[in-house]
Amino acid sequence: MIHKSAVIDKKATLDSTVTVGPYSVIRDHVTIGPGTEIGSHVTIDRYTDIGSDCRIFNHASIGAAPQAIKYQGEKTRLKIGNRTVIREFATLNRGTSFGGGITEVGDDNFLMAYTHIAHDCKTGTGVIMANNATLAGHIVCGDHATIGGLVAVHQFVQIGAFSYVGGKSAVVKDVPPYMIAAGDRARLHGLNKVGLKRHGFSNETLSSLKKAYRIIFRIGLTLNEAIERVSAEVEQVPEVTFLIDFIKESSRGITR
């Protein structure tokens, strides 16, 4: 059902099962997949693709031009995956030509009220952002990362998979996967054991990650020394290998 007060451009493509609430505006070159529900007073700007079975609540702003001074109106995109929930007053911006041209939000994300995803960000599957959490440009969030309320993440930072960022944190360096980070500026506070158990990680994997965490972050070694010692002393389960690779590939430096 599309409310009679909704304004939908003729060049927008909506599946026949999409519902649109009162006074929402959907511009040209927008595609919306089956079963998606658009609330009232939602604005969906041009060059936005939304998957199936999403729920977008009232007053959300989806696909507006990036808040980047260098942006000059180039054709860029926002892509939102399937089953993603976007709550009231959230803002998601398109990409920039100098940052890859696309902002991507993965499947099964839960973006609470007043969250912001800036240009050229990429979120994986199952990412949760609590109220007022904000991502500056060019940020990558791994699968099942959780970002607490009132968190501000600096541009170009990477948030590792299955990590947890506590509320009111300022994150200026990469957060390793599987870890808890919090504070201003954010520091590590151990393994995200509760989150990992909820996602079915085995006790053996948790034990290996705990050993790796202690060696890398708690006994005063340089990162190179710590990586060598983890390789020699810790069982190389896939999660430990993924953690080490994340650290090696970091360009902003690691939250410690």
Using the Cα atoms of residue 48, residue 54, residue 60 and residue 66 in order, give the sign of their dihedral. negative
Active site residue 119: yes
Contact 141, 120 (CB under 8 A): no
Left, alpha or beta for 182 (phi > 0: left; psi -120 to 50: alpha)?
beta
Which listed residue (45, 107, 108, 120) is catalytic? 120
Long-range contacts of 209-218 (CB under 8 A, 24+ apart): 209/178, 209/239, 209/240, 209/243, 212/240, 212/243, 212/244, 213/179, 213/188, 216/247, 217/188, 217/256
Which listed residue (41, 59, 116, 119) is catalytic? 119
Active site residue 33: no
Which listed residue (137, 142, 160, 195) is catalytic? 137
Query: How far apart (Å, rounded) are the C-alpha atoms in residues 111 and 98?
Result: 26
Q: Are strands 110-111 and 91-93 parallel, antiparallel or unpaired?
A: unpaired
Active site residue 184: no
| Active-site residue list | 119-120, 137
